[in-house]
Structure 1
Amino acid sequence: MGNQMTEMLKGTLEGIVLAVLSTQPAYGYEITARLRDQGFSDLVEGTVYALLVRIEQRGMVDVEKVPSEKGPPRKVYSLNATGRAQLEEFWRTWSFLSERIGKLQTDNAAHTEGEN
């Protein structure tokens, strides 16, 4: 992943993880695997785990410890009302930004074509 992609991902990863959890509860590795399946192939597990700690501390998820067949119990994260509200805000912000960026891109393309 290029540096620009990495920086953009940092700014949106919280909303992306909340969106993943909005479909069903999951533990850290499972979230990372789902994101990789969605094309975020360079995503590092440690980044997701650090984010999960932050959203847990901010009260956006409920956590249940579930026994694991091997190793310690897994922390399964599920979106709660606070997390759902944060996700709704993320989608509103995303829509606003993507509309504006799309317009800039269209305007830029029209301007570039006018120069040729």
Structure 2
Amino acid sequence: MLPLCLLGVLADEERSYGYALLGRLTDAGLANVKAATLYPALTRLEEEGSVDVEWGAGEGGPGRKYYRITETGRARLRDEGAAWARFAATVGTLVGEHADEAEGRS
């Protein structure tokens, strides 16, 4: 689900770079995502045309690789986002009642 989450973050911004994306994922509750997982996912998104990449000046340091969502990426986000929402609703229906029971016992 990482690529879908990355597209969701990039859809909210004009462009972003890897470290900032990690921060947004962490802030959203996905604190276990590591750079060794993030950058290959971004590379795959670039290869499939879901993101464009450009190099820009870094803030007082080396250049940064910036990522921007493309129309292909927006279409993927819409389609896979809708599929994920249906899946999550189904799982919620199947386990929700049992989760409520478990919380009541705590």
Q: TM-score range by the shorter chain?
A: 0.7 to 0.9
1:21 aligns with 2:10: yes
Q: CA RMSD in A?
A: 1.9
Distance 1:43 1:111 in 2: 31
Instruction: List aligned pairs for 1:13-52, cutoff 5 A.
Output: 13-24=2-13, 25-52=15-42
The structure 2 residue matched to 1:96, chosen from 62, 81, 86, is 86
SS at match of 1:39: coil
1:37 and 1:103, CA in 2 relative to 1: closer, same or farther beyond 3 A? same
SS at match of 1:59: coil
Unaligned runs of 5+ in 2: none
Unaligned runs of 5+ in 1: 1-11
Q: Which amino acid aligns with 2:7?
A: L
After superposition, what is the alpha-carbon deviation per residue over 1:40-92, rounded to whole angstroms, capped at 9, x for unaligned? Answer: 12210121111000000000011111011212x21110101000000001211
1:56 and 1:104, CA in 2 relative to 1: closer, same or farther beyond 3 A? same
1:111 Cα shift?
A: 9.4
Aligned sequence identity (%): 33
Q: Which amino acid aligns with 1:48?
A: L
